[in-house]
Amino acid sequence: NAISLDGETWATNVIDPVGGWQGGGGYIDGVYLSAGGNGAARYSTDDGATWQPAQTGTSAHRRYVISGEDRVIALGDAVNGSDSWVSVTTDGMTWESTLIEDLELVRGAYGNGVFVAHSAATASTYDYAFSADGVNWTPINAFSPNTHLTSLGFHDGQFILRSDNSS
């Protein structure tokens, strides 16, 4: 584990590894945070010098963390084959998790006031959805059911996706 303020100089081994691996990191209102294995989370209020443990409210792995304007969400492994948990924090320290039924969302991006997410490369069906609050998700039905996104991002005012097929 490492942190950097400039991308060139890095401090390593700064996060206490107790609680398992961390799948992604974010930042909100002066708080750095991460979430990962078995729903474990960490947060730092001193620019990463020390980290405190937290829980996302689910035991599902949190693999991707997405920072929005006033909240951060964590997505991860599917449960029950086609459902997923979304974990949301507005302060970086306390989390609430909600089960999203019939949508397997694990990766995403934020921009223009909305979160957009999609399913994993290994999903049996490919799901896409958007949300203003990270809790309530609306399916996106603009793609063929077999369209598989390989990457999703937000840049210069627009969401950009890359697919490995032309469907």
pLDDT, position 14: 59
pLDDT, position 162: 77
**What is the tens place of the pLDDT at every residue in 35-80?**
988 899 999 999 888 889 999 999 888 989 999 999 999 998 777 7
Q: Which of these ranges, 25-29, 75-79, 154-158, has the smallest mean pLDDT?
A: 75-79
Looking at every residue in the chain, the average pLDDT score rounds to 84
**Helix or strand run (H / E) with residue 74:** strand 72-79
**What is the tens place of the pLDDT at every residue in 109-130?**
999 999 999 876 555 566 789 9
User: 117-138 burial, b if ≥16 CB within 10 A, otherwise e?
Assistant: bbbbeebeebbbbebeebbebe
pLDDT, position 124: 57
